Amino acid sequence: MPTGAFSTLLYKETLRFWKVGFQTVAAPVLTSLLYLLIFSHALEAHVRVFESVSYTAFLVPGLVMMSLLQNAFANSSSSLIQSKVTGNIIFVLLPPLSYREFFAAYVLAAMVRGLVVGLGVWLTTLWLVDLHYAYPLWIVVFALLGGAILGALGVIAGIWADKFDQLAAFQNFIIMPLTFLSGVFYSIHSLPAFWQTVSHANPVFYMIDGFRYGFFGQSDVSPWISLAIVAICFVVLSALTLLMLARGYKLRG
């Protein structure tokens, strides 16, 4: 059963990003809008992924999901590394808070930030393109699972990193390539066979492809396959994170 310490930590982590919303919410929404304007202007007349879907419409769900994932990761990872570097992580570890509650608070707060940013990107694109929502439940499921996975990965990165440079390397060499090379801007069927195989090894591809299926009812792979892979990723990453927390890895001396 959640304790008062859990509720306080969840509130603190949510308030943390909300109080600087111009930086944590407005900035990534603006970045995604710029991506949309530039790519749609340059490629709208030249690229058609699905026969009945314009390139701009195809692009919007990918940008929404990419923003959601990147910001979910950023929330949990940046919070933990800041607490470790400044030394105030002790104030999180001292209360009667189980490692499961610790995990849940950070991941839920990361999901909230990711969903807020994703919703912001979606709202700002409504005036540019007329989207359809073939299967809204698939949209919700992949948004929640994607945010949870990147939130858990952010906790892992925040625990592992000892300084901001290490966290930046984790984000630049793992998170950014995974999200940018996941079919946000293209269908993997437009790639050579080798790169299609590489894309199928990227779990973020399945998050975005399943999320996009909820809008158009069309996808590069079956949404059930995507759901199975994404669910397995969530279970594995959650188990790894909980193991690190239970052992106090890099958190307790």
Do the beta carbons of residue 242 and residue 100 sit within 8 Å?
Answer: yes
Contacts of residue 112, Cβ cutoff 8 Å, sequence gap at least 6: 14
Q: Which pLDDT score, from 0 to 100, does residue 219 have? A: 87
Helix (H) or strand (E) holding 63: helix 55-86
Query: Which of the pair, 181 or 47, is modelled with greater confidence?
Result: 181
Alpha helix stretches (DSSP H) within 126-192: 136-160, 164-170, 176-180
Token output for 111: 């999901």
Band the pLDDT of 43: cuts 50, 70, 90: low
Q: Which residue has the higher pLDDT, 220 or 40?
A: 220
pLDDT digits (tens, 9 = 90+) for 222-235: 999 999 999 999 99
How many whole angstroms separate alpha carbon 250 and alpha carbon 13?
A: 20
For residue 111, is pLDDT > 80?
yes
Return the domain boundaries, the chain: 4-247
Q: Which 8-state DSSP code applies to residue 94? A: S
Residue 221 pLDDT > 80: yes
pTM score: 0.93
Distance in angstroms (rounded) separating the CA atoms of residues 249 and 253: 9
pLDDT band at 187 (very low <50, low <70, confident <90, very high): confident
Predicted pLDDT of residue 214: 96
At 237, the pLDDT band (50, 70, 90 cuts) reads very high
Task: Give the pLDDT of residue 58.
Answer: 87
Kindly state the DSSP code that residue 48 receives in the 8-state scheme. Answer: -
* Nearest alpha carbon to residue 142 among 56, 48, 225: 225
What pLDDT, on the 0 to 100 scale, is given for residue 16?
Answer: 93
Supply the mean pLDDT for the chain: 90
Q: Percent of the chain having pLDDT more than 70?
A: 94
pLDDT tens digits along 118-163? 999 999 998 888 888 999 999 999 999 999 999 999 999 999 999 9
Q: What percent of the chain has pLDDT over 90?
A: 67
Cβ contact 182:142 at 8 Å: no
**Residue 46 scores a pLDDT above 90:** no
